[in-house]
């Protein structure tokens, strides 16, 4: 095998590997973004629940036990 053939074979393998990994990397990025969105929604929901509970306690309305 000549140097040129070896170089072209290595280039072909590198390109094929990059093409195979690109969708996986893209999916991991998208999954991270989705996770960030879900975490933000959970935080907002927890803050709303906490605010509602604080409003009930400060209004002096007795809670059912």
pLDDT in tens, 5-60: 999 999 999 999 999 999 999 999 999 999 999 999 999 999 998 888 888 777 76
Per-residue b or e along 22-53, where b marks 16 or more CB atoms closer than 10 Å to that residue's CB: eeeeeeeeeeeeeeeeeeeeeeeeeeeeeeee
CB distance 38 to 32 below 8 Å: no
Looking at the predicted structure, is the pLDDT value of residue 64 above 80?
Answer: no
The predicted pLDDT at position 60 comes to 63
In the chain the first and final C-alpha atoms are separated, in Å, by: 84
Residues, the chain, total? 65
The predicted pLDDT at position 52 comes to 85
The predicted pLDDT at position 65 comes to 56
Domain ranges of the chain: 22-52
């Amino acid at each position: 095998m000549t140097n040129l053939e070896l170089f072209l074979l290595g280039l072909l393998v590198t390109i094929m590997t990059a093409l195979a990994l690109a969708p996986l990397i893209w999916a991991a990025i998208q999954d991270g973004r989705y996770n960030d969105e879900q975490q933000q929604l959970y935080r907002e929901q927890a803050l709303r629940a906490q605010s509602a509970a604080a409003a009930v306690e400060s209004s002096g309305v007795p809670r059912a036990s």
